[in-house]
Amino acid sequence: MIADVTDRDFARVVEQARIPVLVEFWQPSCGHCVALLSQLEQLQQEVGQALMIVKMNVQENFQIPAELDISSLPTLALFERGLFVRFIGGIGKKEEIRKQLPLD
Q: In this predicted structure, what is the pLDDT of residue 36? A: 96
**C-alpha distances in angstroms, 100 versus 12, 47, 90?**
25, 13, 9
What does the pLDDT look like over 37-73, one tens digit per residue?
A: 999 999 999 999 999 999 999 999 999 999 999 999 9
Query: Would you say the pTM of this structure is higher than 0.85?
Result: yes
Task: Residue 102: name the closest of 17, 32, 25, 27 by CA.
Answer: 17
Active site members:
30, 33
Q: In this predicted structure, what is the pLDDT of residue 45? A: 96
Q: In angstroms, how far is CA 35 from the centroid of its own chain?
A: 14
Report phi then psi at 5, rounded to 5: -130, 145
Distance between CA atoms of 59 and 45, rounded to whole angstroms? 27
What does the pLDDT look like over 6-19, one tens digit per residue?
A: 999 999 999 999 99
